Chain A
Amino acid sequence: MSFVKLTASTLAIAAVSATAAAARDQVQVAGSSTVLPYASIVAEAFGENFDFPTPVVESGGSSAGLKRFCEGVGENTIDVANASRKIKDKEIAACAENGVTDIIEVRIGYDGIVFASDSSANSFEFTPTDWFLALSDKVLVDGELVDNPNTTWADVNADFPAVDIQAFVPGTKHGTREVFEDKVILAGCEATGAFEHLLAHAEGDSDKAKKKAAEKACIALRTDGKSVDIDGDYTETLARIESNKDGIGVFGLAFYENNTDKLQVATMSGIVPSTESIATGEYPVSRPLFFYVKKAHIGVIPGLKEYAEFFVADEVAGEDGPLAEYGLVADPELADTQEAVANEAVMGGNS
């Protein structure tokens, strides 16, 4: 009859769990896989230096993390969402609908996005125009928009070698994709004049709607296999490049710096990406990284405020801190962020 005993004890454990679940004692974080390494470094150091347990950091992407963040207030929802982009108005509205109203936005620093090819392959010096001409759905030829005819990099720019275009770009669930579209494809679109052409022919009621339509048309990528969306992590992009030496992938700066033996980085508009060139703003393709804190959880979940303050402390997120060492570009306005976190200043102005 030991089965009966086992079952009974399991049920008892389950019953205990229901009550114990009401007392969570570690901070729970989820979100962007770009922020994950930084968050895990901070979580580890936080666990070492404070009497609180090490926070739990899950990944899954900025959108997925913010979605979970906005599920509501309570012990079984996450406290912090990491994001490699700013929270959208739509998401703030979704949050408010579920009772998550006071959100503290914390900018931790900047991250560079680099273009890299296999270390044994050709090296490139890109401009946004090159990327637009290589990957856009439609390009301007003799004043007419036509389906992208370019098949090799030499077609795009006569200085490039005649190798097939094969790009591995982050999938749409990644925050990185948005930056890639904004800072590279859209910039190239405007530089080639395709944007003006699209704007002139755009349909819409207002100028704003027309502009939006033109932008949307600009960032449409070709679907003939030359551009491949990678929904996984950078390791997947790396594996694709290792098996296809002509491939060029989009990576985070920190990932590249950990794999300099396998990858060679391309310059963008003549600038080599590095924490320095990103900090000065010379290297064009960078974006801020954020995390969002539920104010309602401060004081309920032990260590939440301490974690947020520790994250942006000088010795962590500052220029010589472990995050900068790993590849984060320190935020020059870190002092303001520290003050905002200390005051628990929520988004929208009122604290």
Chain B
Amino acid sequence: MTDLTQSPAGTAPEPRKHGGSLLEQTPRTKRRNAAEKRFRGYGIAAIAAGLVMLVILVTTIVGKGTGAFQQTFVTLNVELLEAKLDKKGERNIEDIKKVTTFGYAPIIKGAMTAVVEELGIETGLKAKDLAGILSKDVAAQLRDYVIANPDQIGQTVEFRFLASSRVDGYLKGRVTRESIVNDKNISAEQLDLVDALAAAGVLEKTFNLDFIFGADASDARPEAAGIGVSMLGSLFMMFVVLALALPIGVAASIYLEEFAPRNWLTDLIEVNISNLAAVPSIVFGILGLAVFINYMHLPTSAPLVGGLVLTLMTLPTIIISTRASLKSVPPSIRDAALGVGASKMQAVFHHVLPLAAPGILTGTIIGLAQALGETAPLLLIGMVGFIASNAPETLADGLLAPNSAMPAQIYEWAKRADPAFYERAWGGIIILLLFLVTMNTLAVILRRRFERRW
């Protein structure tokens, strides 16, 4: 009951305290207005809290992760000594291949000694410690170059080498002279050398494309690790998910929504699909291990298996969203199509499905985004570890050769000992988030652009 209905109802009304003026509020109205204001305040506070958390999250991620996109490089002239690399001098590729990466150490030491002498830097370091500021990846880089260009043996070639993770950390401020007191991987003299080389322009920090496109690296050389190969792994998994989940999901929803009779069986299926959507993803991992690997004997660590597991996970999401968008197409469209003599299938495929397509697409993209960020099921099918080290060369390789996925790679980096990997984990999160934001934006745009309201 409101004040309005109350006053004419009373036969002997109390005299109004404020004379019933519209301009002055009764205490009751004041209370109601105050309650509304408070409620608005709560709402704004809730949104503000959410925004603050978002800002903290984004600044933390960006603050910790941007370092991974920059890397310290050293530019060196390297004399590819024939005496070390091709003793016989026949340029026989088999002979050259016999020199392992360990055999390249003297060449790297020589190049470092040469640059220190050339720049006139005074240092008491031995040749081994001079080379210690370079990444362990350098030997592999040199060997690959020599095998690809055996005619360059004996020449002096300019290379751009990665600096070691400690040196890189020093330039980024992660490593300080105080923090390395007990560190046996780098010494204060080496940091003096780094300062001198940086002043001479030989050593500099630049954008690191290899982080985005490179392969994972072992614990001894975090500076060489990249997320590129696991990105490909994720991509192949998404292909599998899209190719399987979309047709199966859409077919199932169309049948359930348009053709299936309403009885206890379809109700049961419906309830189970809703339940499946809420099943923890690790359960799908266990299922995948049991069915795809142990029973069907598909290879472990393969993106194909990862994709199959994620398909199982994504299907309920796609079915639910597809059914919702099919339901939202008004029955008059179906009735009109049936009325002019279309078969049920024609009505569905020519009229209902095109109108429901934006909703289906949105649901699919959101399902894919969800699958892209999933790590738990991949743990069980062997996609977490030191895996993303070989870039796939063919399509079959991409599906079957062992590979990791972006979230799995991030998880793996986060638990490795060297703090440099921790930085890369945050960098990986930035890339993963970019993918997710792009996919979700795409979903929103599609919905805005094509959705029809009745």
Interface residue ranges, A against B (CB under 8 Å): 3-4, 6-7, 9-10, 13-14, 16-18, 20-21, 24, 26, 28, 30, 36-37, 39-41, 43-45, 47-49, 51, 53-54, 56-59, 75-76, 78, 232-236, 254-255, 257-261, 264, 315, 322, 325-326
Assess A16 versus B300: contact at CB under 8 Å? Given A58-B384, A234-B417.
Answer: no
Across the interface, do B102 and A76 meet the contact criterion of CB distance under 8 Å? no
Query: Which chain A residues lie closer than 8 Å to B178 at the CB level?
Result: 261
Across the interface, do B100 and A43 meet the contact criterion of CB distance under 8 Å? no
> In chain B between 117 and 140, which residues have their CB closer than 8 angstroms to a CB of chain A?
136, 140
Across the interface, do A325 and B220 meet the contact criterion of CB distance under 8 Å? yes
Query: Which chain A residues lie closer than 8 Å to B217 at the CB level?
Result: 44
How far does the Cβ of B216 sit from chain A's closest Cβ, in whole Å? 9
Across the interface, do A260 and B182 meet the contact criterion of CB distance under 8 Å? yes
Complexed CA–CA distance, A198 and B240 (Å)? 60
Query: Which chain A residues lie closer than 8 Å to B416 at the CB level?
Result: 37, 235
Across the interface, do B183 and A235 meet the contact criterion of CB distance under 8 Å? no
Assess A49 versus B182: contact at CB under 8 Å? Given A76-B299, A259-B417.
Answer: no
Q: Which of A28, A43, A232, A236 contacts B389 (CB 8 A)?
A: A43
Complexed CA–CA distance, A113 and B171 (Å)? 32
Across the interface, do A21 and B400 meet the contact criterion of CB distance under 8 Å? yes
Query: Which chain A residues lie closer than 8 Å to B115 at the CB level?
Result: none
Interface-located stretch among B81-89, B244-252, B263-271? B244-252
- 16 more contacts with CB within 8 A, not counting A48-B143, A56-B301, A257-B185, are A13-B399, A17-B299, A21-B298, A40-B219, A47-B389, A48-B140, A48-B144, A56-B385, A58-B386, A59-B384, A75-B299, A234-B417, A257-B184, A260-B180, A261-B175, A315-B102
Query: Which chain A residues lie closer than 8 Å to B296 at the CB level?
Result: 18
Residue B396 CB within 8 A of the other chain: yes
Query: Which residue of chain B lies nearest to A325 when distances are taken between CB atoms in the complex?
Result: B220
Complexed CA–CA distance, A255 and B422 (Å)? 13
Q: Which of B100, B182, B297 contacts A21 (CB 8 A)?
A: B297
Complexed CA–CA distance, A315 and B139 (Å)? 14
Query: Which residue of chain A lies nearest to B380 when distances are taken between CB atoms in the complex?
Result: A60
Across the interface, do B304 and A44 meet the contact criterion of CB distance under 8 Å? no
Query: Which chain B residues lie closer than 8 Å to A47 at the CB level?
Result: 389-390
Query: Which chain A residues lie closer than 8 Å to B400 at the CB level?
Result: 17, 20-21
Assess A235 versus B414: contact at CB under 8 Å? Given A3-B250, A44-B389, A56-B402.
Answer: yes
Across the interface, do B183 and A18 meet the contact criterion of CB distance under 8 Å? no
Across the interface, do B101 and A48 meet the contact criterion of CB distance under 8 Å? yes
How far does the Cβ of B297 sit from chain A's closest Cβ, in whole Å? 5
Complexed CA–CA distance, A40 and B221 (Å)? 11
Query: Which chain B residues lie closer than 8 Å to A257 at the CB level?
Result: 183-185
> In chain B between 342 and 389, which residues have their CB closer than 8 angstroms to a CB of chain A?
382, 384-387, 389
CB-based closest 10 A-B pairs: A261-B179, A58-B385, A37-B219, A40-B386, A260-B182, A40-B218, A3-B247, A258-B417, A44-B218, A54-B389
B interface residues, how many (CB within 8 angstroms): 57
Across the interface, do B386 and A56 meet the contact criterion of CB distance under 8 Å? yes
How far does the Cβ of A344 sit from chain B's closest Cβ, in whole Å? 23
Across the interface, do B387 and A3 meet the contact criterion of CB distance under 8 Å? no
Query: Which residue of chain B lies nearest to A3 when distances are taken between CB atoms in the complex?
Result: B247
How far does the Cβ of B404 sit from chain A's closest Cβ, in whole Å? 9
Binding site secondary structure of chain A: helix
Across the interface, do A76 and B297 meet the contact criterion of CB distance under 8 Å? yes
Query: Which residue of chain B lies nearest to A71 when distances are taken between CB atoms in the complex?
Result: B294
Across the interface, do A10 and B417 meet the contact criterion of CB distance under 8 Å? no
Residue B146 CB within 8 A of the other chain: no
Residue B418 CB within 8 A of the other chain: yes
Across the interface, do B219 and A326 meet the contact criterion of CB distance under 8 Å? yes
Across the interface, do B244 and A10 meet the contact criterion of CB distance under 8 Å? yes
Q: Which of A24, A49, A232 contacts B101 (CB 8 A)?
A: A49
Complexed CA–CA distance, A267 and B418 (Å)? 23
The 30 sampled A-B contact pairs (Cβ below 8 Å) are A6-B243, A10-B244, A13-B399, A17-B302, A17-B304, A21-B297, A21-B400, A24-B299, A36-B386, A39-B386, A40-B386, A44-B220, A44-B221, A44-B386, A44-B389, A48-B101, A48-B140, A49-B101, A53-B390, A57-B387, A58-B301, A234-B415, A236-B415, A258-B185, A260-B180, A261-B183, A315-B100, A322-B136, A322-B220, A326-B219
> In chain B between 389 and 418, which residues have their CB closer than 8 angstroms to a CB of chain A?
389-390, 396, 399-402, 414-418
Residue B293 CB within 8 A of the other chain: yes
Query: Which chain A residues lie closer than 8 Å to B419 at the CB level?
Result: 258-259
Query: Which residue of chain A lies nearest to B311 when distances are taken between CB atoms in the complex?
Result: A10
Query: Which chain B residues lie closer than 8 Å to A53 at the CB level?
Result: 390, 401
Assess A3 versus B246: contact at CB under 8 Å? Given A48-B143, A232-B415, A235-B416.
Answer: yes
How far does the Cβ of A125 sit from chain B's closest Cβ, in whole Å? 17
Query: Which chain B residues lie closer than 8 Å to A43 at the CB level?
Result: 218, 386, 389
Complexed CA–CA distance, A57 and B293 (Å)? 18
Assess A17 versus B298: contact at CB under 8 Å? Given A3-B250, A47-B389.
Answer: yes
How far does the Cβ of B157 sit from chain A's closest Cβ, in whole Å? 19
Query: Which chain A residues lie closer than 8 Å to B402 at the CB level?
Result: 26, 28, 56
Query: Which chain B residues lie closer than 8 Å to A78 at the CB level?
Result: 300
How far does the Cβ of A349 sit from chain B's closest Cβ, in whole Å? 32
Assess A255 versus B243: contact at CB under 8 Å? Given A20-B400, A53-B390.
Answer: no
> In chain B between 297 and 313, which residues have their CB closer than 8 angstroms to a CB of chain A?
297-302, 304
Query: Which chain A residues lie closer than 8 Å to B384 at the CB level?
Result: 58-59
How far does the Cβ of B252 sit from chain A's closest Cβ, in whole Å? 12
Across the interface, do B385 and A59 meet the contact criterion of CB distance under 8 Å? yes
Query: Which chain B residues lie closer than 8 Å to A44 at the CB level?
Result: 217-218, 220-221, 386, 389
Across the interface, do B385 and A57 meet the contact criterion of CB distance under 8 Å? yes
Query: Which chain A residues lie closer than 8 Å to B399 at the CB level?
Result: 13, 17
Q: Which of B181, B301, B417 contacts A37 (CB 8 A)?
A: B417
How far does the Cβ of A54 sit from chain B's closest Cβ, in whole Å? 4
Complexed CA–CA distance, A16 and B302 (Å)? 14
Complexed CA–CA distance, A36 and B385 (Å)? 8
Query: Which residue of chain B lies nearest to A47 when distances are taken between CB atoms in the complex?
Result: B389
Complexed CA–CA distance, A54 and B184 (Å)? 29
Across the interface, do A10 and B243 meet the contact criterion of CB distance under 8 Å? yes
Across the interface, do A58 and B299 meet the contact criterion of CB distance under 8 Å? no
Complexed CA–CA distance, A17 and B398 (Å)? 11
How far does the Cβ of A235 sit from chain B's closest Cβ, in whole Å? 5
Assess A260 versus B299: contact at CB under 8 Å? Given A20-B400, A40-B218, A235-B415.
Answer: no
> In chain B between 213 and 270, which residues have their CB closer than 8 angstroms to a CB of chain A?
217-221, 240, 243-244, 246-248, 250-251
Query: Which chain A residues lie closer than 8 Å to B240 at the CB level?
Result: 10
Q: Which of A6, A18, A258 contacts B247 (CB 8 A)?
A: A6
**Binary CB contact string for chain B from 313 to 340 against chain A (1 if under 8 A, 0 otherwise):** 0000000000000000000000000000
Across the interface, do B299 and A54 meet the contact criterion of CB distance under 8 Å? no
Of A26, A58, A233, most buried by chain B (CB within 10 Å of CB) is A58
Query: Which residue of chain B lies nearest to A322 when distances are taken between CB atoms in the complex?
Result: B220
Across the interface, do B183 and A9 meet the contact criterion of CB distance under 8 Å? no
Query: Which chain A residues lie closer than 8 Å to B218 at the CB level?
Result: 37, 40-41, 43-44
Query: Which chain B residues lie closer than 8 Å to A41 at the CB level?
Result: 218-220
Complexed CA–CA distance, A75 and B240 (Å)? 23
